[in-house]
Amino acid sequence: MTERRAGIIGMGHSFPEGVLTNADLEKIVETSDEWITTRTGIKQRHKAAKDEYTSQFGTRAAQQALERSGLSAEEIDIIVCATTSPDQILPSTGALIQAELGATNAAGMDLFAACSGFIYGITMVESMIRTGQINYALVIGAEILTKYVDYTDRGTCVIFGDGAGAAVLGPVEGGKGILSTKIRSDGRYEEQLYARGGGTRLGTSHETIDNREHFFRMKGNEVFKVAVRSMADISNEMLEKAGYTTADVDLVIPHQANQRITEAVASRLDVPMDKVYSNIADMGNTSSASIPIAMDECIQAGRIREGSLVLLTAFGGGITWGASVIRF
């Protein structure tokens, strides 16, 4: 098989119309706009309605990405949906999106890597495109996280939001594409960010519901330290592998977890904040959707253009982390 380089040839994003502001949260839980803003940088987050679900937004983002790529759904070989909030246990959200798109020649699947899911997805399909197994892939990060937060726990309910981002990947030429990418995990840190209910360990019962086991739990201080170190270290590793330094990077797009984490990662990488994109004030933490949403916003605003060297870096529950260096 002839090796070639994989790149991003179209992007899109989608999110619910509903908005939950910090002022709204002040009426629900003991918190304040000042407390939330100081600790997270978040002012608002999008919130799905009761009758909205993950695949709806994943499909809309994917349709937009397909239109911008100039490809039809039938030309896609695989759809990878990164999500921690699937429509249902079976079938996969990726398969449901495949059906909605009419991507009759594609395999559809879900990938579970929490907030690092989008980088996991592009890392996986990059090798498939590079080695000629497939030509085109859709990688989607889609989440409805507001249905998994405990609105009595101010440490988590103020953070998460809903939305989806999608990228079409295919072969590219002229020095463009994914120059380096790597993913990591360490399950020893599972208790830093978790939700125990609903799986085969505890199942779903009146007891697990009464104990609120199906909601996200997080140890914020511990997450902060490991996230900053992991994201910075793997970013430097991928830049070195690609033959660049942080001085060469035009834009850094980190997972939108927390503004303090973003600033600490930038400081550790010695990257000025004017080269670091942040939309967390308006979107909150959308887990696997945060990086593709941010990328598409940057493309549409002209912050990513032809020739731009972009560093993606993420960290999520599991724990998982990863980084990619891409030339557009």
Strands 162-172 and 5-14: antiparallel
Q: Which member of 81, 115, 157, 298 is catalytic?
A: 115
Q: Spell out where the chain has E strands.
A: 5-14, 19-21, 44-46, 78-82, 107-111, 137-144, 162-172, 177-185, 193-194, 217-218, 251-254, 309-316, 320-327
Whether 115 is a known active-site residue: answer: yes
Q: Which member of 22, 236, 258, 285 is catalytic?
A: 285
Chain-centre distance for alpha carbon 222: 21
Strands 309-316 and 320-327: antiparallel
pTM across the whole model: 0.97
Q: Which member of 157, 255, 258, 298 is catalytic?
A: 255
Whether 81 is a known active-site residue: answer: no
State the Cα–Cα distance between residues 314 and 119, nearest whole angstrom: 7
Whether 255 is a known active-site residue: answer: yes
CATH tag, 179-327: 3.40.47.10
State the Cα–Cα distance between residues 328 and 322, nearest whole angstrom: 19
CATH 3.40.47.10 residue ranges for the chain: 5-173, 179-327
In the chain, the amino acid numbered 240 is: E
State the Cα–Cα distance between residues 128 and 159, nearest whole angstrom: 35
Strands 162-172 and 137-144: antiparallel
pLDDT per residue of the chain (328 residues) written in tens, 0 to 9: 567 999 999 999 999 999 999 999 999 999 999 999 999 999 999 999 999 999 999 999 999 999 999 999 999 999 999 999 999 999 999 999 999 999 999 999 999 999 999 999 999 999 999 999 999 999 999 999 999 999 999 999 999 999 999 999 999 999 999 999 999 999 999 998 899 999 999 999 999 999 999 999 988 778 899 999 999 999 999 999 999 999 999 999 999 999 999 999 999 999 999 999 999 999 999 999 999 999 999 999 999 999 999 999 999 999 999 999 999 9
Is domain 5-173 classified as CATH 3.30.2420.10?
no
| DSSP percent split of the chain into helix, strand, coil, nearest 5 | 40, 25, 35
